């Protein structure tokens, strides 16, 4: 499903960052654990097609990401990779449903209102579909961010530091939501974090020094 081999990346004259080979099977749930400066963000960007590595290969569903043209890579990312950032990054002038319609459109997919309703219902957010981001609580914003990440039925779901600013109770709730959504959508889940509280929630871990 996902395979990274012989990956390294160098920023200018700084020492190169190297990453151990990693194979992830369909629908597995992984923790990507690394402290600040370990290269976690670099690896995330490489995995999601945002940063071409200095060397090595990244394959998702037997597609080598960096053999694609920029246009095809953008389309592939929109259709196969869902990203949940620490902050929502929603368009404030658009309602929840409009943000999700836009995510479908950017991926080159036919807009599907029923799919949007189903995803929002699974996150207990259907009643907020016509609300604007500024009308939502932080918890509701996070649920909409998850909805946007899974709306196109991605093969790979990546969450970047989803618990770092949360207390124990809310961190546990967000992890449960992410795992539930990956199962509902049959998506592979990778949670990237330096938060060691998360370790017990995952059986599979890829650690950076």
Task: Enter the DSSP assignment of 162.
Answer: T
Residue 201 has pLDDT above 80, yes or no: yes
Q: Residue 156 belongs to what H/E stretch?
A: strand 156-160
Predicted model pTM: 0.89
* Cβ–Cβ under 8 Å, residues 7 and 61: no
The tens digit of pLDDT for each residue in 80-135 reads 999 998 788 899 999 999 999 999 999 989 999 999 999 999 999 999 999 999 99
In this predicted structure, what is the pLDDT of residue 158? 95
Q: What is the pLDDT of residues 169-184, one digit of tens each?
A: 888 888 999 999 999 9
Whether the per-residue pLDDT at 165 is higher than 80: the answer is: no
| pLDDT tens sequence across 102-114 | 999 999 899 999 9
For residue 24, what are the β-bridge partners? 2
> What pLDDT score was predicted for residue 161?
87
With 0-12 / 13-18 / 19 or more C-beta atoms within 10 angstroms meaning exposed / middle / buried, residue 119 is buried
Q: How far apart are CA 108 and CA 160, in angstroms?
A: 24
Average pLDDT, the chain: 92
Segment 7-21, tens digit of pLDDT: 999 999 999 999 999
Task: Quote the pLDDT of residue 25.
Answer: 94
**CA dihedral over 90, 94, 95, 97, signed as positive or negative:** negative
Percentage with pLDDT > 70 across the chain? 100
Domain residue extents for the chain:
2-207
Percentage of the chain with pLDDT > 90? Answer: 77
Query: Any idea which residue has 């939501």 for tokens?
Result: 177
The answer, yes or no, to whether residue 209 has pLDDT greater than 80, is: no
| Contact call for residues 185 and 154 (beta carbons, < 8 A) | yes
Taking the C-alpha atoms of residue 71 and residue 157, their distance in angstroms, rounded to an integer, is 21
> Would you call 150 helix, strand, or coil by DSSP?
helix
CATH number of the 2-207 domain = 3.40.50.300
**Which tens digits make up the pLDDT trace of 18-74?**
999 999 999 999 999 988 788 998 999 999 999 999 999 999 999 999 999 999 999
On whether the CB atoms of residues 147 and 180 are closer than 8 A, the answer is no
């Amino acid at each position: 499903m996902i395979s990274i081999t012989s990956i390294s990346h160098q920023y200018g004259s700084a020492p190169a960052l190297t990453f151990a080979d990693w194979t992830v099977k369909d629908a597995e749930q992984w923790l990507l654990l690394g402290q600040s400066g370990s290269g976690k963000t670099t690896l995330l960007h490489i995995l999601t097609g945002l940063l071409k590595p200095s060397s090595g290969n990244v394959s998702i569903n037997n597609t080598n990401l960096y053999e694609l043209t920029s246009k095809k890579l953008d389309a592939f990312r929109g259709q196969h990779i869902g990203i949940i950032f620490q902050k929502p990054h929603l368009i404030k002038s658009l309602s929840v449903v409009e943000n999700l319609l836009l995510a479908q459109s950017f991926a080159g997919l036919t807009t599907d209102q029923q799919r949007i309703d189903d995803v929002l219902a699974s996150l207990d957010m259907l009643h907020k579909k016509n609300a604007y981001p500024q009308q939502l609580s932080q918890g509701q914003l996070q649920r909409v961010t998850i909805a946007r990440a899974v709306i196109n039925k991605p093969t790979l779901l990546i969450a970047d530091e989803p618990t770092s600013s949360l207390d124990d109770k809310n961190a546990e709730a967000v992890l449960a939501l992410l795992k539930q959504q990956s199962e509902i959508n049959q998506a592979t889940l990778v949670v990237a974090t330096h938060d060691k509280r998360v370790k017990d929630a995952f059986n599979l871990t890829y650690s950076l020094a």
